Amino acid sequence: MTEPTRAVAQGTFDLLHPGHIHYLEEAATYADELHVIVARRANVTHKEPPILSDRQRQETVGALGVVDAAHRGHPEDIFVPIEQIDPDVIVLGHDQHHDAAAISETLADRGIDCEIERASTREPSHDAELLSSRAIIDRILKQRG
């Protein structure tokens, strides 16, 4: 019996929305299992820190049927969970700031052999649909702030 293939998706996943669902559903098509790494609040430095706790975001993502396992990121080294999961492919979100070439180089330096893919963009299905946590927060502040 062959081992199942594993895909990894990663992100902050604060205030889960249809854009996240699109990303995770697409990432799941790359392998038999989808593992999701949820960034720790302390490691989110490229944007505002998440509203929800690390644990709540992990539990929410893990409850999605498309996700086989949800993991919290490592506090110091973002590649530790990758080493533990040993994926066949890492699927980056369409708008994530990551440099795929730099990730591939680091993976190779660590002896991790996996592909890097980038998920497609999901366009809003209607005018009121929000596809970013920031847009959701902005609307809440505008309507209730």
- Residue 115 maps to which CATH number? 3.40.50.620
In a domain, residue 64? The reply is yes
In a domain, residue 1? The reply is no
In a domain, residue 83? The reply is yes
Q: Give how many domains the chain has, as a whole number.
A: 1
One-letter-per-residue 3-state SS of the chain: CCCCCEEEEEECCCCCCHHHHHHHHHHHCCCCEEEEEECCHHHCCCCCCCCCCHHHHHHHHHCCCCCCEEEECCCCCCCHHHHHHCCCEEEECCCCCCCHHHHHHHHHHCCCCCEEEECCCCCCCCCCCCCCHHHHHHHHHHHHC
pLDDT confidence tier of residue 92, bands split at 50, 70 and 90: very high
In a domain, residue 99? The reply is yes
In a domain, residue 19? The reply is yes
Binding-site annotation: residue ranges: 12-13, 17-20, 95
Domain holding 77, by residue range, is 6-144
In a domain, residue 136? The reply is yes
Binding-site annotation: residue ranges for ATP: 12-13, 17-20, 95
pLDDT confidence tier of residue 145, bands split at 50, 70 and 90: confident
In a domain, residue 21? The reply is yes
pLDDT confidence tier of residue 2, bands split at 50, 70 and 90: confident
Average pLDDT for 31-51: 94
In a domain, residue 24? The reply is yes
Average pLDDT for 49-56: 96
pLDDT confidence tier of residue 124, bands split at 50, 70 and 90: confident
